[in-house]
Amino acid sequence: MGGTSKKNRQKVADVDRPSLTGKAETLFHSDAKEPIIRLFENDFPYAIPHDVQHFVLWSRLPFYPPAAGESSKLSQARQKGLHGLTGVTVIDQHADQLFMETEISDYVQKTWPPEDYQCAWFVNPPSLQSIKNVSHFHIFVKTKHATFT
Q: What is the pLDDT of residues 72-122, one digit of tens each?
A: 888 888 899 999 999 988 655 555 678 889 999 999 999 999 999 999 999
Q: What is the pLDDT of residues 4-53, one digit of tens each?
A: 455 544 444 444 434 333 333 488 999 999 999 999 999 888 999 999 99
- The yes-or-no verdict on residue 123 having pLDDT over 50 is yes
pLDDT band at 148 (very low <50, low <70, confident <90, very high): low
* Bridge partners (DSSP) listed for residue 86: 119
Centroid of chain to Cα 143: 19
Name residue 49's amino acid: P
Q: What is the dihedral of CA 94, 78, 46, 10, to 10 degrees?
A: 110
- The yes-or-no verdict on residue 65 having pLDDT over 90 is no
pTM: 0.77
